[in-house]
Structure 1
């Protein structure tokens, strides 16, 4: 009873801010609700309207495209974690520096990067100098580059978070295993592929799952930087839910789209478990 008493404050908050919204949101998906009138049961009508809405499919396609950032951010985070896992003088400063973007508000990050992506901004100057851009134009105003530009900001901001998780995973690996492999004649790449990477499999599962769900649910980046434009090129499925709820006051339709997002997230979670065999390390 003492243990449950300590858990009670958290459990109450969990029910109020998580469990009840999930239950009520699922109920609203089968109702016509505009926050003024009482919910009116409409069955599957919201889902039928949802699947007939091209804007929903456009947002879903962009959200699925956003998943392409997941393998990139995982590879880069592992490399950075390997880099800062060395006992060098001042390494704590570099670990902190990589983590600073994580704790920075996305409102600030979005405004800074929006300015950097402007025409004649610093990003354009670098791309023009490298010969990667021929015409000086804003990356966020070009439908061909807007989504990639926003994805890069997500990559830049998220590296530090996953770096910390991978760093914890690296420091949990027994040094004796790597030392024994080196004594047996294994090279550094062989140690990484045969010992380090398999030992990181549970961490890779967690990080891949978290980043996949975050990619599907991308919202803050879109709101702050593009508002779904230009020409809907960055319009995400969660931004669709937000627009239907708080602009059109179609809360039932918004809840229905959120259920689709939840189902897709669960499916990708299952795929992650399958690919990493539940995060288990080979014997």
Structure 2
């Protein structure tokens, strides 16, 4: 191919990327760069902004409410293995050439494309004392009386976590489905010829070859879990008694309700560092698993 044709292709490709790059620069990278020095100030939109050094970070680690929200955010990470395990099973199920499998693929993916606000409102209604969740559980004999899930300090956070799992399954299922369809069928057939049953093929052949996809999905899921906001904000607002408060919502409250932007920026930076640590650990675990196969 002549050089000028390649040049035109490169120009066209970068032209297509340019709107997205501009969007990222304006709404992602600029706020990050601006937020870094902001974390070391006592920012005020009306009065003079003062440099306070590490005081915001010292305040954060002495703030019982922030530490409680951080604990809840870290607790939220337990949804990650649940989502990954169930979504892998769903992907294996819909990867078969069964009658009506296309319908199930679409049905599982519908929650992904549905607005989280709409999903959270719907589930908030279902989790009410006279909602459908209590009706079903009482019908099958699992509970004797109605439970106010979102108004109970013992169940509010876990109810929101359930919604996160329910909505995320279809997204990760599609990624795993793409991974399953990239695995050469000859490897699975060879294992069956050697006498492996279906479960042994899945455990010893399919899962190891899915490790790169497990790494990607786990990383995305961990970041989403620590930065969760929408469902908590809509369903509980962090209550009752801050039992479901997470760092995303706590940062929002400090910034846009208390107008304590410097402190909110410091909290955001702490959470970003925690996400970075989880990212490094996830990559380290992934390298031990099976990434070398892809070399």
What band does the TM-score fall into relative to the shorter chain?
A: over 0.9
Alpha-carbon deviation of 1:134? 3.1
In structure 1, what is the Cα distance between the partners aligned to 2:49 and 2:32?
16
Work out the CA distance in 1 between the residues paired with 2:45 and 2:105: 46
For normalisation by structure 1, the TM-score amounts to: 0.95
How far apart in 2 are the matches of 1:176 and 1:277?
25
Residue segments in structure 2 that go unaligned for 5+ positions in a row: 1-6
Structure 2 match to 1:126: 136
Cross-structure match for 1:33: 43
User: What residue is the counterpart of 1:262 in the other structure?
Assistant: 272
**What do the CA deviations read for 1:131-176 (whole angstroms, capped 9, x no partner)?**
3323312111111111111111001100000000000000000001
Once the two structures are TM-superposed, the CA of residue 259 in structure 1 deviates from its matched residue by 0.5
Report whether the alignment pairs 1:148 with 2:188: no
Displacement of 1:278: 6.6
- The answer to whether the Cα contact below 8 Å between 1:203 and 1:279 also exists between their aligned partners in 2 is no
Unpaired stretches in structure 1, ≥5 consecutive residues = none
Partner of 1:157: 167
Is the alpha carbon distance of 1:187 and 1:13 closer, same or farther for their aligned partners in structure 2, counting shifts above 3 Å?
same
Secondary structure of the corresponding residue to residue 276 of structure 1: helix
Q: 1:212 aligned to 2:210?
A: no
Q: For this pair of structures, how many residues does the alignment match?
A: 283
What's the TM-score, normalizing by structure 2? 0.92
Which position in structure 2 is the counterpart of 1:230?
A: 240
Is the Cα contact below 8 Å between 1:63 and 1:215 reproduced in 2? yes
Q: Which structure 1 residue ranges, 4+ long, deviate > 4 Å from structure 2?
A: none
Question: 1:99 and 1:8, CA in 2 relative to 1: closer, same or farther beyond 3 A?
Answer: closer
Q: Does 1:197 align with 2:207?
A: yes
- For 1:20, the equivalent position in structure 2 comes to 30
Equivalent of residue 183 in structure 1, options 175, 182, 193: 193
